[in-house]
Structure 1
């Protein structure tokens, strides 16, 4: 199996688009990295969103889940904020043939407005999201701009992209 990754910095719409894709129904098994954040945080006693010391282990857990899905003959589609360099640096998996990347992105003004609507997001954390977005734009050339699309419209575009593989 190939590994299909939909990435994006915070505020790009990953969670909303992932849910819209699930609602559409497809042959893909959709996962959002945040779906296990709360129970893993409870299990480890660390906030998986902010404690960088837990990120490699969290990534390894997700890659075992994705590998298990592929072993069952299903194609996983994983939504996460990682870069290709993150995966290389962390040496997360070797079981897939090729890793294909798609970036969900939006302009910085839209991202800032989306993050302003979230509770407990500090100015520092918002700036980190803007910096992450700039890094992802450099690393992942294929992208969908979610600035003016609904999650459902973006989900259809993601599905068209994923169906190529």
Structure 2
């Protein structure tokens, strides 16, 4: 039996994931985001899962997403999941999920200067911005396939990612 394949795209805050996902939702691909399940206040089933205080349940949340991705992939079409986790975190979650889908990773990135400007415009503190820059550097080491949003229109980035999704084996 051939396992379903899901494309995962990660990226540190400010890379442009939300903008990209809006563009890809207009295309023939199922696109979902880890940030879609919680309410606007970060709550899921009454728990603020976006708070660092909730880090103890993040592995359970990741397992939930592995299951969701597998269910979506059974539909047969291309699936893209935007997630803020590392490949190791996904693998740890998938280890406990029967019939977890096969995954192919990519990273949405931008120049550190662009990330700083984007996050400052959101009102992030200097400390939060620098943490996002550190996260981006870590992801650069972990996920070699990358798409940049710096100096590019969102539609261009979306087209490149759509080609990556649909031109890959087992799309």
TM, length-normalised to structure 1:
0.87
Task: Please identify, of 52-61 and 146-155, the stretch whose mean Cα deviation from structure 2 is larger.
Answer: 52-61
Name which of 127, 140, 145 aligns with 2:148.
Answer: 145
1:103 to 84, 88, 107: 107
Instruction: List 4+ stretches of structure 1 deviating above 3 A.
Output: 89-94
Asked if the contact 2:49/2:58 (under 8 Å) is kept, the reply is no
- Give how far 1:71 is off: 2.3
* Paired positions, count: 162
Aligned Cα root-mean-square deviation (Å)? 2.0
TM-score of the superposition, structure 2-length normalised? 0.84
**Structure 1 contact 14–80 (Cα < 8 Å) conserved:** no
Give matches, 1:33-112, under 5 Å.
33-38=34-39, 41-48=43-50, 50=52, 51-91=54-94, 93=97, 95-96=99-100, 98-112=102-116
Provide the rounded CA distance (Å) in 2 between the counterparts of 1:36 and 1:128: 24
Identify the match of residue 158 of structure 2 among 149, 155, 159.
Answer: 155
Instruction: Report whether the alignment pairs 1:12 with 2:15.
Output: yes
Q: CA deviation at 1:68?
A: 1.5
Q: Report the structure, 1 or 2, having the larger helix content.
A: 1
Runs (5+) with no aligned partner, structure 2:
none
Question: 1:97: Cα distance to partner?
Answer: 5.5
> Which range moved further: 152-161 or 44-53?
44-53
Is 105-114 or 82-91 further displaced after alignment? 82-91
Displacement, 1:96? Answer: 4.6
